[in-house]
Amino acid sequence: MPQRKDTTAETTGSGDSASAPAKRSYQVEALAKGLRMLGLFSEQRPTMKLTDMSAETGVPLPTAFRMAATLVTEGFLEQLPDGAYRPAPKVLTLGFSALRGLDLVQLADGPLRRLAAATGQTVNLGVLSDDSVLYLVRLRNNDLVTANIQVGSRLPAVRTSMGKLLLSQLNDGELQARLPPESFAGPTGPNASRSLEELRPVLAEIRRQGWAVQDEELAYGLRSVAAPVRDASGTTVAAVNIAVPAMEFPTTRLVKELRPQVEDACAEISRLLGGR
């Protein structure tokens, strides 16, 4: 009698020859191309023209246009006046779970919660991203009606205490590259720097003293004080601030009462990261 062919691998999909086509059959190619399009953006390339997006993904220009339009409609891309595209804030929602899993965020959780409990004020942890501060942690205690900020928010670095502190660690060439004139545009508080030339002496003072204050630069009625978080090499990798209502905290009170507590929390987080 002729032997029967063993078809177990074929019918179950456990063989290599069958599993690859099976896996590919589940892929939605249009979705994959759209995700690849989002993946083109980076800190080094925050904006892109549609022609470049089409060329780098291998998607025909009309199809790339429809994909980009869909991503704009869904809130994942926004189109700039010059026609280029950049990621919209909704993209950040995709990364919230990843942000919460970062070693930095996990290690900082205890010190930040103790700082918030001790002061009764809003505590934030942020890192520098392009010309913005990306908020990784926000423990909101007081009623800061002027600041609608949450985890994943990006605020102009030049108008925030955390941002200025992180910018103060950069050399002049890095500042020039990171802060084009557009970084100083848009709505501001009454005390905001309007150009890199105005900001340079502020950053020099922050570098000298080791902490930063935001005095109604982001918005009316809001002040904050920030200190650095350093890793094992001594490099500043993040910043922590306490944000307060300006009516309750003149700058002198902010610096005298809250700055030491912020610095202590940052020192504790730095030790947990292996710093001295």
pLDDT digits (tens, 9 = 90+) for 180-199: 999 998 878 889 999 999 99
State which residues of the chain have pLDDT below 70: 1-27, 43, 89-90, 92-102, 142-148, 276
269 contact partners, CB below 8 Å, separation of at least 6: 104, 107, 108, 111, 112, 229, 240
In this predicted structure, what is the pLDDT of residue 124?
Answer: 95
pLDDT, tens digit, 9 for 90 and up, residues 5-41: 444 333 334 444 444 444 455 667 778 888 888 888 8
Residue-wise pLDDT for 76-94, tens only, equals: 888 988 999 988 766 765 6
- What are the chain's domains? 8-91 (1.10.10.10), 95-272 (3.30.450.40)
Question: pTM higher than 0.75, yes or no?
Answer: no
CA distance 204 to 208: 6
